Amino acid sequence: MARSELAVPSATRLSGAGLTLAYDQRVVAEHLDVAIPDSSFTVIIGPNACGKSTLLRALARMLRPRKGAVHLDGGLITSLPSKEVARRLGLLPQSSIVPDGITVADLVGRGRYPHQRLMRQWSRADETAVAEAMRATDVAVLADRIVDELSGGQRQRVWLAMALAQETSILLLDEPTTFLDIAHQIEVLDLCAELHETGRTMVAVLHDLNQACRYATHLIVMREGRIVAQGDPSGIVTPELVRQVFDLRCEIIPDPQTGTPLIVPESRRRVRVAS
């Protein structure tokens, strides 16, 4: 990873080159080059409206780039058969709609869709994958419960289980911790770290810079539609970077738990600090 900051796109399984991303006439990001290192836990971070979710959506082929291209395993992601892509790359969108009255087991089972066909609607492999996904996310005990009745944290674990049941080696997560309280945020992120350790490439959009530094093995920092820095958090997160990206003065100390960078914002009310 000691090479140039912008890795050669074709060197990794998932990459984007020369991306211009836009909704209708509104250009959100331009000239993005990004390579997701294989087997990394990549976190994309930046201030609101910097285009981080848009970049993730482009990598997940939810948004067709205005210019440039996203490549998966050397092929153009938009020309690969959609179901084929879905067997390699999964996405947990920012928000999904729970079908009325669906049980946990049934919802997780829907993650098997890309593996199913008209005459193979529910194979033993489907059953095993669903059981394994529910075990990994600790929702097996909820299998027969109705999803609507679960707490926010439980529900997010169920959605994660559905994405896991898809059995993709790359998993993209769009703000998986939003709307969760701090304990559930950590729970979900720990789970993501475990999934990463079992060999998956994880890519997540997060809001919290400290959490990003803690969990990411590769950080992509964005501002106003551009990538400002990418690399190992310990190597790139500096007070200058934080000021440049978030307009925030801060100190950076080692996280007492993990040794990763911990951002301590400078108080504007220094006056009250004693001595």
Sketch the per residue contact string, 15 through 54, with other proteins: x for CB under 8 A, - otherwise. --------xx------------------------------
Taking each helix axis as running N to C, give the angle between helix 124-136 and helix 182-197, from 0 to 180 degrees, rounded to the nearest 10.
130
Q: What is the DSSP letter of 242?
A: H
Binding-site member from 25, 95, 198, 275 for other proteins (CB under 8 A): 95
- The only residue of 73, 106, 208, 232 in contact with other proteins, by rule CB under 8 A: 106
Integer Cα distance of 253 and 255 in angstroms = 6
Query: Which range binds other proteins by CB under 8 A, 95-103, 188-196, 232-240, 266-274?
Result: 95-103
- The correct pick among 10, 18, 38, 96 for binding other proteins (CB under 8 A) is 96
Among 36, 35, 40, which residue's Cα sits nearest to residue 217?
Answer: 40
Q: Which of 143, 150, 193, 252 binds other proteins (CB under 8 A)?
A: 143
97 is a site residue for other proteins (CB under 8 A) = yes
Q: Which of 139, 83, 81, 86 is nearest to 108 (CA)?
A: 139
Residues 6+ apart with CB under 8 A from 148: 98, 100, 101, 102
| Residue ranges in the chain assigned as alpha helix (H) | 52-59, 82-86, 104-109, 124-136, 152-165, 182-197, 209-215, 233-236, 239-246
To other proteins, the closest distance from the beta carbon of 112 in angstroms equals 9
- Interface residue with other proteins among 35, 58, 85, 206 (CB under 8 A) is 85
Place of tokens 């998956």: 200
d(CA 193, CA 258) in angstroms, rounded, equals 13
Size of the residue set binding other proteins (CB under 8 A): 49
Contacts of 115 (CB under 8 A, 6+ apart): 87, 123, 125, 126, 129, 166, 167
State yes or no: residue 141 binds other proteins (CB under 8 A). Answer: no
The answer to whether the CB of 165 falls within 8 A of the CB of 123 is: no
Q: Is 191 left (phi over 0), alpha (psi -120 to 50) or beta?
A: alpha
137 binds other proteins (CB under 8 A): no
Footprint of other proteins on residues 1-20 (CB under 8 A)? none
Q: Which stretch binds other proteins (CB under 8 A): 32-40, 75-83, 184-192, 231-239?
A: 75-83
Q: What letter would DSSP give residue 67?
A: E
Q: Per rule CB under 8 A, is residue 126 in the interface with other proteins?
A: yes
Residues in contact with other proteins, shown as a per-residue x/- string from 147 to 186 under the rule CB under 8 A: ----------------x--x--------------------
The correct pick among 77, 91, 213, 262 for binding other proteins (CB under 8 A) is 91
Piece of 8-16, 70-78, 83-91, 252-260 that binds other proteins (CB under 8 A): 83-91
- Give the residues lining the site for other proteins (CB under 8 A): 23-24, 57, 60-62, 81-87, 90-103, 105-106, 109-111, 113-114, 119-124, 126-127, 130, 143-146, 163, 166
